[in-house]
Amino acid sequence: MVDKKQSHHIVVIGSINYDILMRQDRFPKVGETVLADDVKMSGGGKGANQAVQAVKMGAQVTMIGAVGEDVFGDILLHELDSYGVDTHLMKRVSGTSSGLGLVNYLPSGQLLSNVYPGANMHLGIEDIDTISSLIRSASMIVLQTEIDLDTLCHAISLAHEYGVPVMYNAAPAKELPPGVLEKVDYLIMNEAEAEFHCRQPFSSVDMAMDGAKKLQKRLRNTIVVTLGPQGALIVSDDTAAHIHPIDVPVVETTGAGDSFVGALAVMMSERVRIIDACNVATCASSLTIQKPGGQIAMPTLQEVMDLYTTVYEKEMQFV
């Protein structure tokens, strides 16, 4: 049982990038130049995005990651500070650029994304050991796969040893050493990542549910598979449910998955029932895709709960 006095303390260990987002009518062919209609520049990276959404949902969040000793690093830390994310333990790395993301997106919301990890890969095992007391005191640890894999696995193992819940967003999908996924309490994946870990393709929601059930039976944790316009699936020891999507206009999908994860982490830290927590997370991502950009588009707790009340017309339940 999470100590209530710590229920708002989430530690996010992950990536932080400087994103350049360009809106255009179509994607270029090889060797072709297409002029963009608009450009936005903002902080990004899965870890930073999830940290910002968690803060906007009312949580106290400490971000652990690495940026370069460059102007991008200065901007990224300033932006996180402006949202209220605690960055005092962020690592500055000399001799390499901060992580960079280049995103091209269409009016339909489709996007192409290229990411240079840069300083993100310089967060090491020794950096995790340095913050072991912070991990021990957290209500939840949130991680993704945009940092060094040895560092990721060490952080998961340390949190598991301390009995701290671990939420792992398996993005991008990568093979982890045997036994690591079993230490994860909440495994969050999109359809492609779930296909990778379930070792089978999904051509329907039913097939995705079947794959998730088989994986959950082996790992014995809670699995959430986000399916974009088809909603999300939840599988745990006592739950198997399909969360239906909310019909909203799509402007741009950058950060939608991170918005879902950040909101879900807060709800699970507050001991909200998993189905209700995923409904809240669906509201958060549904609001995010109605605006361009990642962090700047992410909604506040009030905005999320207003939509939740409108769509679901019921009180959340706690466990």
Catalytic positions are: 258
Per the listing, tokens 């690495």 go with 66
What is the three-state SS of 138-202?
CCEEEECCCCCHHHHHHHHHHHHHHCCCEEEECCCCCCCCCCCHHHCCEEEEEHHHHHHHHCCCC
241 and 233 in contact (C-beta within 8 Å)?
Answer: yes
Q: DSSP strand E in the chain: where?
A: 9-13, 17-23, 38-44, 60-64, 66-68, 91-93, 99-105, 111-116, 140-143, 166-169, 186-190, 222-226, 232-235, 240-243
Show Cβ contacts of residue 62 under 8 Å, excluding neighbours closer than 6 positions.
9, 10, 11, 12, 85, 86, 89, 134, 138
Beta bridge partners, 11, equal 62, 141
| Helix (H/G/I), strand (E/B), else coil: 305 | helix
In the chain the first and final C-alpha atoms are separated, in Å, by 10
Question: Would you mind telling me the total number of residues written for the chain in this entry?
Answer: 319
- Can you state the percent helix, strand and coil of the chain, rounding each to 5? 40, 25, 35
Count other C-beta atoms under 10 Å from residue 78's C-beta: 11
43 and 19 in contact (C-beta within 8 Å)?
Answer: yes
What tokens does 126 get?
Answer: 């020794």
Q: Residue 143: what residue type? A: L
CA-to-CA distance for 200 and 167, rounded, in angstroms?
A: 23
**In whole angstroms, how far apart are CA 163 and each of 3, 160, 210?**
12, 5, 29
